[in-house]
């Protein structure tokens, strides 16, 4: 019954002749496979139901490599010592033996002393504004006090990407009397929404900021009514800053200044800055705006909207019925005010969120930052769409580690670059600067604000490499290398779409891959780099998979990598979104893999999600003794009246939930 495409328009077609190389040709040319001695050993997985604190064994995992469902580490090879749980199915979270996973922050949980109790049968805008939002995605952990390495006290900043109204509201879906079984063009259900429903959805978007701490008994808890606790929603006042702020194309009837925007939408992956703020990425904003077909198709604004996938007619959500700003026929510029990186200061609950236009406008994933050799800050971000680009922004000014206030507007000045991956394993960061390399009036750009507002068009002009859905994009704090996640692209090499290239070597890439980037001289402000493919995801038994050269009979299957993070030892932790599309009946999960040493590429599954859900936003506390993970859209594919799961409560609606993983002996996660 999943009738709504909440992932947005990823079906655009481009004309480019494919080269038609086989994967074997590519891999033989690009990599020398490593030899390693590995051993297998059995280990049980553990499962936690609801809010239970104890875990109980489950049957042997399914979907692991034929050699063994579980493999223990190669002797002396790495710091990861948990048993691979293998792919799992079912309605409960599963974690490796020796660990416990529990629900920690659920949709509708209170943030304040006066927050109303959650009522799954009657969610309201007034209640939602004081409760944890829907569909948790990115999670940031900021230790308190700021600048410390405190592992027991901090802030969680959680993105709420979108809503599943068909799961949230009674009667939202109504049977279509015109539908007959087997109909392809007539939907089985029709949307029955109201202004009250839409208002609740608006408040369920955005972010939650919540203070958390480990209590005297060693258990993590929410500091209810903590002084930093805050909701930011789709109705929160925000401002545009940087080169595009105030430009003509960002002005609307309600905001003739082009600087004041109501709210933030579709907040997906993000990142924390060295000065303790969070930059949240606005991703699939296109789905909220209706009636592109009512604009002149040849007008610049319509051409831009089409490049970003806005719908021709009404939206499936129908917000435009109640609010003019979502109707392009009435406010054609409003979508141009979304798709930015929005910076929030979680330490100042009175601060106004700022959309930093210098970072460019696209379907942001990641927005993770790193202090360069010269003291400037590099910010990496992917554009999550088939055949779109990977970006880096470098600040004009240097980071001031002594005076926080000197950094609060650091992201307003600098240079945005787009990546070109050359076939010889080198790469270039191409500057997106007005007046250079065709970014001028000859291609429709009249200012730097234009370049940043129409960032995808600018990348097209510069000939950036069209990637397989760039998602999270992060720097490893231990080895300094940068890891770019490409979730999947089943249209690569089909019809008139771009063919394979060295950085995207598989046609119809349904399982995704991860690229490892080394900036020249280790300087993240460099304009050149080298790169290698680290993982080609999929079934290890398939010829077209690759795990950094590690023996494939020892690793876990994985598909559709999405978000990544690193533990204190520099191991890469991967969440997946879409694994069930490649391994039918299995759930998305969390995987870990060393990136250095003799076990480089030895991928193991650590945690499994629940039916209908993706895993996203994994983050550790400062000493890696706690791991938070978002379980997003559990039960997707059902409806309020026909739930496919009641996780995590065992009754009522499924609730998107941030879960907490700890080691039973209190030690480092993964060790």
Q: Please write the tens of the pLDDT for every residue from 336-346.
A: 999 999 999 99
Given a cut of 70, whether residue 35 has pLDDT beyond it is: no
In a domain, 242, yes or no: no
Q: Is the pLDDT of residue 46 over 80?
A: no
Of 44-58, 180-194, 285-299, 563-577, the poorest mean pLDDT is in 44-58
pLDDT at 563: 98
Is residue 671 included in any domain, yes or no?
A: no
Side-chain-facing half-sphere of 548: CA atoms under 13 Å: 20
Residues 594-618, mean pLDDT to the nearest whole number = 98
- Is the predicted pLDDT of residue 114 greater than 90, yes or no? yes
Give the model confidence (pLDDT) of 545-584 as tens digits: 999 999 999 999 999 999 999 999 999 999 999 999 999 9
**Taking CA 33 as the corner, what is the angle to CA 43 and CA 19, rounded to the nearest 5 degrees?**
115
Q: Is the pLDDT score of 77 beyond 80? A: no
CB-facing half-sphere around the CA of 27: CA atoms within 13 A: 16
4 pLDDT above the threshold of 60: no
pLDDT at 225 (0 to 100): 84
Taking only the tens place, the pLDDT of each residue in 420-436 is 999 999 999 999 999 99
Sign of the Cα pseudo-torsion (129, 614, 641, 103, in order): negative
Q: Is pLDDT at 280 greater than 60 in this prediction?
A: yes
Q: At residue 379, does pLDDT exceed 50?
A: yes
Nearest to 363 by CA among 469, 508, 207: 469
Residue 292 forms part of a structural domain: no
Mean pLDDT in the chain?
A: 90
Higher pLDDT, 239 or 75: 239
* Range 372-399 average pLDDT: 98
- Between CA 363 and CA 23 the distance in angstroms is 29
Band of the pLDDT at 14, cuts 50, 70, 90? very low
Does residue 424 sit within a domain? Answer: yes
CA distance 478 to 465: 28
Q: What was the pLDDT predicted at 9?
A: 39
Of residues 21 and 329, more confidently modeled: 329
Number of domains in the chain: 1
User: Does the pLDDT of residue 334 top 50, yes or no?
Assistant: yes
Provide the pLDDT for residue 387: 98
| Cα atoms in the Cβ-side hemisphere of radius 13 Å centred on 332 | 18
Does residue 264 carry a pLDDT above 60? Answer: yes
Whole-number CA gyration radius for the chain: 23
Let me know if residue 467 belongs to a domain: yes
**The pLDDT of residue 449 is above 80:** yes
- Split at pLDDT 50, 70, 90, the class of 44 is very low
Contact between residue 253 and residue 122 where contact means Cβ atoms under 8 Å apart: no
> Looking at the domain assignment, is residue 248 inside a domain?
no
Within-domain flag for 58: yes
> For residue 182, what pLDDT band results from cuts at 50, 70 and 90?
confident
pLDDT at residue number 474:
97
Please indicate, yes or no, if residue 256 is contained in any of the structural domains.
no
Using the predicted structure, report yes or no on whether residue 536 has a pLDDT greater than 80: yes
Q: What pLDDT is recorded for position 426?
A: 98
Q: Give the mean model confidence (pLDDT) for residues 183-202.
A: 94
**In this structure, what is the dihedral angle of CA atoms 627, 617, 589, 568, given to the nearest 10 degrees?**
-40
Residue 48 in this model has a pLDDT that exceeds 60: no
Rounded mean pLDDT, 384-391 = 98
pLDDT value of residue 18: 28
Tracing tokens 């875990």 back to the chain, one arrives at 55
Expressed as residue numbers, the domain containing 122 is 23-102+112-153+162-234+266-283+339-352+363-663
Enumerate the H helices of 50-190 as residue ranges. 125-128, 165-168
Give residue 8's pLDDT: 41
**What's the confidence (pLDDT) of residue 78?**
87
- The arithmetic mean of pLDDT across residues 226-247, rounded, is 98
Residue 70 confidence (pLDDT) above 70: no
């Amino acid at each position: 019954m999943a009738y709504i495409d909440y992932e947005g328009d990823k079906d655009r077609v481009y004309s480019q002749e494919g080269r038609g190389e086989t994967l074997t040709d590519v891999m033989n040319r690009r990599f020398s496979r490593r030899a390693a001695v590995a051993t297998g050993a059995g280990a049980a997985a553990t499962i936690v139901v609801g809010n239970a604190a104890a875990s109980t064994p489950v049957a042997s995992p399914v979907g692991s490599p034929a050699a063994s469902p579980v493999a223990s580490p190669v002797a002396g090879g790495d710091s990861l010592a948990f048993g691979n749980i293998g792919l799992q199915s079912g309605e409960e979270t599963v974690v490796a033996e020796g660990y416990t996973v529990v629900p920690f922050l659920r949709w509708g949980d209170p943030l304040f002393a006066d927050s109303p109790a959650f009522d799954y049968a009657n969610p309201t805008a007034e209640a939602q504004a004081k409760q944890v939002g829907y569909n948790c995605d990115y999670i940031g952990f900021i230790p308190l006090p700021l600048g410390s390495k405190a592992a027991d006290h901090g802030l969680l900043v959680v993105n709420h990407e979108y809503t599943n109204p068909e799961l949230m509201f009674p009667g939202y879906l109504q049977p279509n009397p015109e539908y007959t079984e087997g109909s392809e063009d007539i939907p089985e259900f029709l949307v029955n929404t109201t202004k009250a429903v839409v208002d609740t959805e608006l408040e369920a978007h955005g972010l939650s900021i919540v203070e958390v701490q480990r209590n005297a008994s060693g258990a993590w808890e929410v500091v209810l009514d903590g002084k930093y606790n805050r909701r930011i929603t789709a109705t929160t006042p925000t401002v545009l800053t940087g080169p595009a702020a105030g430009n003509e194309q960002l002005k609307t009837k309600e905001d003739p200044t082009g600087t004041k925007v109501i709210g933030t939408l579709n907040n997906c992956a993000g990142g924390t800055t060295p000065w303790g703020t969070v930059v949240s990425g606005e991703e699939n904003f296109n789905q909220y705006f209706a009636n592109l077909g009512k604009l002149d198709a040849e007008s610049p604004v319509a051409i831009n909207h089409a490049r970003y996938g806005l719908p021709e007619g009404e939206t499936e959500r129908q917000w435009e019925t109640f609010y003019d700003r979502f109707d392009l026929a009435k406010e054609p510029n409003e979508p141009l005010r979304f798709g930015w990186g929005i910076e929030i200061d979680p330490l100042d609950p009175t601060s106004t969120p700022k959309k930093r236009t210098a970072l460019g406008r696209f379907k942001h994933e990641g927005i993770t930052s790193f202090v360069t050799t010269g003291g400037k800050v590099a910010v990496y971000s992917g554009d999550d769409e088939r055949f779109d680009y990977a970006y880096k922004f470098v600040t004009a000014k240097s980071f001031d580690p002594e005076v926080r206030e000197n950094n609060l507007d650091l992201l307003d000045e600098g240079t945005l670059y787009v990546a070109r991956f050359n076939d010889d394993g080198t790469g270039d960061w191409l500057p997106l600067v007005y007046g250079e390399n065709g970014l001028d009036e000859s291609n429709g750009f009249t200012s730097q604000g234009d370049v940043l507002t129409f960032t995808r068009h600018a990348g097209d002009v510069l000939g950036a490499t069209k990637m397989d859905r760039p998602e999270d994009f992060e720097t490893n704090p231990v080895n300094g290398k940068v890891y770019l996640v490409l979730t999947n692209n089943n249209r690569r090499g089909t019809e008139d779409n771009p063919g394979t290239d060295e950085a995207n070597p598989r046609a119809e890439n349904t399982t995704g891959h991860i690229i490892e980037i080394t900036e020249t001289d280790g300087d993240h402000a460099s304009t050149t780099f080298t790169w290698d493919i680290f993982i080609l995801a999929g079934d290890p038994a398939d010829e077209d998979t690759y795990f950094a050269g590690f023996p494939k009979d020892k690793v876990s299957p994985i598909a559709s990598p999405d978000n990544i993070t690193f533990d204190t030892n520099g191991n890469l932790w991967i969440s997946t979104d879409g694994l069930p599309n490649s391994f039918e009946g299995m759930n998305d999960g969390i995987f870990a893999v060393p990136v250095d040493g003799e076990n480089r590429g030895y991928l193991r599954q650590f945690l499994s999600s629940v039916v209908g859900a993706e895993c996203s936003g994994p983050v550790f506390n400062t000493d890696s003794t706690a791991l938070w993970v978002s379980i997003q859209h559990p039960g997707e594919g059902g409806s309020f009246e026909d739930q496919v799961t009641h996780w995590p409560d065992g009754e009522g609606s499924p609730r998107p939930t941030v879960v907490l993983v700890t080691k039973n002996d209190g030690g480092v996660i993964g060790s």
